[in-house]
Amino acid sequence: METLRTVAQVRDRVRRVRADGGRVGLVPTMGALHEGHLSLVRMARRDCDLVVVSLFVNPAQFGEESDLASYPRTEARDAELAAGAGADLLFAPAVAEVYPDGFATTVRVTGVTEHWEGEHRGAAHFDGVATVVAKLFAMVAPDLAYFGQKDAQQVAVVRRMVTDLNLPVEIRVGPTVREPDGLAMSSRNVRLRPEDRERALSLRAGLDAVQATIRDGADGADGADGADGLDSAVRAGVEAMRSRGVEPEYLALVDPETFAPVVDLSGPALAVVAARVGDVRLIDNLPVEASA
């Protein structure tokens, strides 16, 4: 596997593959790779002739300077893992390669960004996500790009951007990969103190309580998928988290495409949650339905 640092190098490599009729897949990451990332690399390997893993800790999407400074940077390990999962290229540009002097353009997606992560991390967070993903698509020109379901609102933002800007890339989403005890894999998990690791399971417990309450209501009472039933399910989820000593920043039922709150289960719904566990902010989500 090659490690490339410049846009010109990546474009040259992609051009050669395209000349032979090959398909190019991109897995955008900020490094600190774990099995969630590697599952996406393996998906791309099955679909594509050239698999590019980008590694760029994007300063534009961090609202807190301390979070950016503490984000793990493990390029040598990441390169080894990416190669083992089937990547052909690791694209690891410097900040100046992505945001050169005089850079003055921002991609902003409205609507889907307004609540939940957008509200708690600030509007600049998704501006940074949309801008860097748009740039990666322009740099690499992939046929397919791979994202994880754990970052569901980010996926919705990227899909909206691709649709609105007619970008010639297909978005594919891999399922959330979890630890054996149910904790969603995240690069931030390594920062959990030992005493907080068990408490981190509260996020999955809250999501499970939402789903269980909806299903119990659907089995035993009319209207369980209406507004009152959904409110009861969310309250059950919040209480499940509080019983483990964690207060959610938000726990809600949303439309997975628009991220607007849902008032019934007549269509797809996603339970989404975020919370700080010790010094670490975690997110998770789970599709929900009225019956098993």
Residues catalogued as catalytic = 37
154 is in an annotated binding site: yes
| 80/289 Cα distance (integer angstroms) | 40
- Let me know: does 241 contact 205? Beta carbons within 8 Å: yes
Residue in this structure with the two tokens 């998704």, named with its chain if needed = 126
225 is in an annotated binding site: no
61 is in an annotated binding site: yes
209 is in an annotated binding site: no
Helix, strand or coil for residue 262?
A: coil
Nearest in space to 160 (alpha carbons), one of 121, 120, 118 = 118
Tokens of 131: 């801008």
Q: How many residues does the chain have?
A: 292
Rg (CA), the chain: 20
| 167/145 Cα distance (integer angstroms) | 11
9 is in an annotated binding site: no
Tokens of 148: 């994880």
For the chain, helix (H) and strand (E) counts, in that order, are 11, 9
Q: Which is it for the CA torsion 116, 181, 190, 95, positive or negative?
A: negative
186 is in an annotated binding site: yes
121 is in an annotated binding site: no
149 is in an annotated binding site: yes
151 is in an annotated binding site: yes
177 is in an annotated binding site: yes
Q: Tell me the binding residues for ATP.
A: 30-37, 148-151, 177, 185-188
Q: Tell me the binding residues.
A: 30-37, 61, 148-151, 154, 177, 185-188
Q: Tell me the binding residues for (R)-pantoate.
A: 61, 154
Q: Tell me the binding residues for beta-alanine.
A: 61
